[in-house]
Structure 1
Amino acid sequence: MVLDDLFLARRISDKAGELLPTLVHQRYKLKRSIVVASNRVVQDWGKYLGDNTMATTILAQIMHRAHILEFEGKSYRLKERHHGSRA
């Protein structure tokens, strides 16, 4: 399962907020993969979910067997856009 641009809107709908912990728990229980791509730091997930306890539970399950990749620097898309505008 891939969760791309998670919390892009800063706040997910109540329905999605109810579904997310169930999906994560089921994937965790079955030892299935979850790929999460987000520009939001995990420390703010409670704010975006509206529930710090739920965010902690979700993160504990996602990160238990996780390989975390953090990318820093300027956006490749913005660099490409800026470079393309010169042509």
Structure 2
Amino acid sequence: MRFAPRCPACNLDFDSFNVGDGAAAFLTLGIGTIITILGIVVELTFEPAWWVHVALWLPLTIVAVLGTTRWTKAALAALEYRNNAGEGRIERRP
């Protein structure tokens, strides 16, 4: 998922942001933890067949990660803008 090159309302240059794939990795780890806990609870409570786990958790994981990637990338870009973050800059304080 990519940003538009510029904001249509204020003409802010989105190409200057370096969000990358950090959002997807963060979401995969976070949502993967939640899905794993839910899978363990379902297994210990209901003891379903293995294919029930595949049918439940695989689509849920994919939908959850893809559904929240846009929001997370936007939040990372907003934090980068607010904090005036940039790559490779070190400010020395006296």
Please report the TM-score for the alignment, with normalisation by the length of structure 1: 0.24
**Structure with more of its chain in helix, by fraction:** 2
**Structure with more of its chain in strand, by fraction:** 1
Please report the TM-score for the alignment, with normalisation by the length of structure 2: 0.23
